Each structure stands twice: as C-alpha cells, then as structure tokens.
C-alpha cells in the first residue's frame, strides 16, 4: 500500500509568504451590517410580557432593525446567557422568564446604546 500525502491547509499569511506578495490579491474587506453606527440609532425596548402565555412571564426584545439571521443568532446568545429557552421571530426575541436586566446589560455591551426597560 502506498501512503497518501495529507494536504495541509494554509493560513492566508502562510500562503502569502510562499509567493510574491506584490502579486497577491488585496485582503477582502469585512462588511458588517451590525456596525456601531446602526446600533446607536436603534431604539430597543425590553419588556416583560405575560399575555397569552398561561400566566408565565417572558422577556420580549423589540425594535431590532437587523436581518433575521442576526436576530436568530442574538436570540441564541441571549438564551445561553440567561440559561433559559425562547425564540426569535418576526423581528423580536423572546426569552423565557424575567431576565430584563441581563438582556439590557448584554445589549449595551454589544453597542446598542438606546436600550431601555419598557412596560411592567
């Protein structure tokens, strides 16, 4: 049997060091739809809701002007931080239980400056 050579994956820096760096293409610019300028302009409200939930309270995050993918990812992170379940749909994030303080603290750390408690 013959031994096959394993292909080694190269990092971009290692690849550039192999050849002429003058001929290397420019590094792609990372475009983020979640930059701080758009986060500062959003008016996010975090409220406690008990309606149509069998008397159980949930933390509801409204006012996110982001893509559905980003809202879904944010919902996953918030659920993990709070250690509870929830969902993210229709531009809103629902976290089970009263976790308004944790949610607001996390959102402010992420750059959402206009983030306040709302309602009961």
- Encode the chain (120 residues) as per-residue pLDDT tens digits: 555 666 667 777 777 667 665 665 666 655 555 556 677 788 999 999 988 888 899 999 999 988 999 999 999 999 999 999 999 988 899 999 999 999 999 999 999 888 999 876
Domain-located, residue 66: yes
Domain count, the chain: 1
CATH of the domain at 46: 3.30.780.10
Predicted TM-score (pTM) of the model is 0.66
Domain-located, residue 92: yes
DSSP 114: S
Q: Give the model's pLDDT for residue 106.
A: 94
Q: Give the model's pLDDT for residue 13.
A: 75
Domain-located, residue 26: no
Q: Give the model's pLDDT for residue 40.
A: 74
Radius of gyration of the chain (CA): 22
Distance CA 47, CA 39 (A): 19
């Amino acid at each position: 049997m013959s031994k096959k050579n394993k292909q080694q994956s190269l990092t971009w820096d290692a690849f550039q060091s192999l050849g002429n760096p003058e001929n290397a293409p420019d590094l792609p610019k990372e475009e983020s739809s979640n930059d701080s300028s758009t986060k500062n302009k959003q008016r996010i409200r975090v409220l406690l809701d008990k309606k149509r939930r069998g008397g159980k309270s949930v933390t509801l995050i409204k006012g996110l002007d982001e893509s559905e993918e980003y809202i879904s990812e944010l919902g996953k992170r918030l659920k993990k931080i709070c250690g509870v379940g929830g969902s993210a749909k229709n531009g809103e994030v629902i976290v089970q239980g009263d976790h308004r303080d944790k949610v607001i603290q996390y959102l402010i750390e992420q750059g959402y400056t206009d983030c306040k408690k709302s309602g009961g």
